[in-house]
Amino acid sequence: MNVMRQTDDTTATAEIKIAAKGVQVYYGDNHAIKDVDVDIADRTVTAFIGPSGCGKSTFLRCLNRMNDTIDICRVEGKITLDGEDIYDKRVDPVQLRAKVGMVFQKPNPFPKSIYDNVAYGPRIHGLARSKAELDEIVEKSLRRAALWGEVKDRLNAPGTGLSGGQQQRLCIARAVATSPEVLLMDEPCSALDPIATAQVEELIDELRSRFAVVIVTHSMQQAARVSRKTAFFHLGNLVEFGETGQIFTNPRDPRTESYITGRIG
Ligand X SMILES: Nc1ncnc2c1ncn2[C@@H]1O[C@H](COP(=O)(O)OP(=O)(O)OP(=O)(O)O)[C@@H](O)[C@H]1O
Binding site for ligand X (CB under 6 A): 27, 30, 32, 50, 52-58, 70
Taken in order 160, 166, 168, 171, is the CA torsion positive or negative?
A: negative
- The residue among 176, 182, 235 whose CA lies nearest residue 20 is 182
Name, in order, each residue with C-beta under 8 angstroms of 215's C-beta and a sequence gap of 6 or more: 45, 46, 47, 48, 185, 188, 204, 222, 223, 226, 227
In this complex, which beta carbon is closest to ligand X, that of residue 115 or of residue 259? 259
How many CB atoms are closer than 10 A to CB 46?
A: 25
- The residue among 40, 1, 175 whose CA lies nearest residue 103 is 175
CB of 99 to ligand X, least distance (A): 22
In this complex, which beta carbon is closest to ligand X, that of residue 52 or of residue 221? 52
In this complex, which beta carbon is closest to ligand X, that of residue 54 or of residue 182? 54
CB of 78 to ligand X, least distance (A): 20
The DSSP secondary-structure symbol of 111 reads S
CB of 105 to ligand X, least distance (A): 8
- The residue among 111, 91, 98, 254 whose CA lies nearest residue 175 is 98
Beta strands 13-27; 212-216: pairing state = unpaired
Q: Is 216 helix (H, G, I), strand (E, B) or coil?
A: strand
Query: What percentage of the chain's residues is helix, strand, coil (to nearest 5)?
Result: 35, 30, 35
In this complex, which beta carbon is closest to ligand X, that of residue 56 or of residue 169? 56
Residue 250 CA to residue 265 CA, distance in Å, equals 19
CB of 26 to ligand X, least distance (A): 9
CB of 125 to ligand X, least distance (A): 27
In this complex, which beta carbon is closest to ligand X, that of residue 27 or of residue 110? 27
In this complex, which beta carbon is closest to ligand X, that of residue 55 or of residue 251? 55
In this complex, which beta carbon is closest to ligand X, that of residue 31 or of residue 78? 31
CB of 242 to ligand X, least distance (A): 19
CB of 214 to ligand X, least distance (A): 13
How many CB atoms are closer than 10 A to CB 54?
A: 24
